[in-house]
């Protein structure tokens, strides 16, 4: 055998040996769609209408498994929405080990979220929010996909990525918005017979953007909607308006106008101005369409 043929044979044999190893390797690659994690959306159909420049779909991967999906806004350094399947937690809230997305910083990095490393790489800082952004900001880290809506320990830990977090006032986060999250959970347990798909997102300020650390966009409102197509046939009359879909918008600025969400002046001082308005899915989509300047549809076929 000639030296050239021997070299070709050796190279081919080496590739055959390496193929199984490469086959199990997770190579990070920024995708322009949610094709790897469509199960988190009703009828495997992501919301329609979110088409502005800068949006980046992320299939949130942790411990070699997808846990939910987020539409990330690169310029805002935060998520536009997170979509997930609600499953009541079977344990306590995990310790807050905050994570980031290597694939946002390096196009060929792992698609697995990772805990922040100290010091934080400059490419990471430029591509997404970091823990330092929230320090002394007067804002809490507000989950779009809350850990109490996730069943396993890994599911709950996966929600602690900053690509699932927005600056949220404490009066909202631990007040009316927390009450909304618990209310959705109770409705799921009591009346939903099948899968409940949830999408939770934000509305930035319309006229003048607000930022923390001159980097991370502060939402003026939070919004959420769920879809439960299979529910109890004997719903009480007062519950029927909540199925198969329902939605809500919450104030994240107590000084905002009352056009979208009125203020309950009788609420206790610590939460006054952080009210949540319950509404139909159609009403929420109308508000988002007008506010974002895009025709928004959250659930395929209105979850029918």
Q: Is the pTM of this model over 0.75?
A: yes
Determine the distance from the C-alpha atom of residue 128 to the mean position of all C-alpha atoms in its chain, rounded to a whole number. Answer: 14
pLDDT per residue as tens digits for the range 160-173: 999 999 999 999 99
303 forms beta bridges with none
Q: Which two tokens stand for residue 239?
A: 């519950």
Do the Cβ atoms of 231 and 191 come closer than 8 Å? yes
Separation CA 200–CA 250 (nearest Å):
11
Q: How many other C-beta atoms are found inside a 10 Å radius of the C-beta of residue 19?
A: 9
Q: How many other C-beta atoms are found inside a 10 Å radius of the C-beta of residue 261?
A: 23
The pLDDT value given to residue 116: 96
The pLDDT value given to residue 27: 39
- Closest C-alpha among 116, 167, 158, 114 to residue 139: 167
Q: Which residues, 6+ apart, have CB-to-CB distance to 281 below 8 Å?
A: 225, 227, 245, 246, 247, 298, 299, 302, 303
pLDDT per residue as tens digits for the range 36-56: 999 999 999 999 999 878 899
Do the Cβ atoms of 120 and 98 come closer than 8 Å? no
Q: Which two tokens stand for residue 52?
A: 């502005």
Separation CA 142–CA 160 (nearest Å):
10
């Amino acid at each position: 055998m000639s030296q050239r043929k021997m070299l070709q044979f050796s190279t081919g044999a080496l590739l055959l040996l390496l193929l199984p190893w490469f086959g199990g390797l997770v190579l990070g690659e920024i995708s322009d769609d949610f094709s790897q994690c469509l199960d988190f959306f009703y009828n495997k159909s992501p919301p329609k209408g979110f088409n502005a420049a800068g949006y980046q779909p992320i299939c949130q991967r942790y411990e070699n498994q997808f846990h939910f999906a987020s539409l990330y806004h690169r310029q805002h350094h935060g998520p536009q929405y997170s979509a997930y399947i609600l499953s009541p937690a079977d344990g306590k809230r995990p310790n807050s080990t905050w994570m980031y997305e290597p694939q946002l910083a390096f196009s060929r990095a792992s698609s697995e979220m990772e805990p922040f490393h100290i010091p934080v790489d400059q490419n990471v800082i430029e591509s997404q929010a970091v823990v330092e952004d929230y320090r002394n900001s007067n804002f809490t880290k507000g989950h779009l996909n809350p850990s109490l809506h996730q069943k396993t320990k890994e599911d709950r830990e996966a929600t602690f990525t900053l690509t699932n977090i927005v600056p949220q006032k404490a009066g909202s986060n631990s007040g009316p918005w927390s009450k909304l999250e618990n209310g959705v959970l109770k409705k799921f347990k009591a009346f939903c017979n099948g899968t409940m798909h949830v999408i939770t997102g934000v509305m930035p300020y319309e006229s003048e953007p607000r930022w923390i650390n001159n980097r991370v966009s502060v939402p003026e409102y939070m919004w959420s909607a769920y879809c439960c197509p299979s529910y109890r046939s004997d719903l009480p009359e007062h519950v029927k308006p909540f199925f198969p879909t329902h939605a809500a918008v919450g104030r994240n600025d107590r000084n905002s106008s009352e056009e979208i969400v009125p203020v309950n002046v009788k609420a206790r001082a610590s939460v006054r101005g952080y009210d949540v308005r319950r509404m139909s899915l159609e009403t929420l989509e109308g508000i988002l369409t007008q506010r974002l300047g895009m025709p928004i549809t959250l659930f395929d076929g209105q979850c029918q």
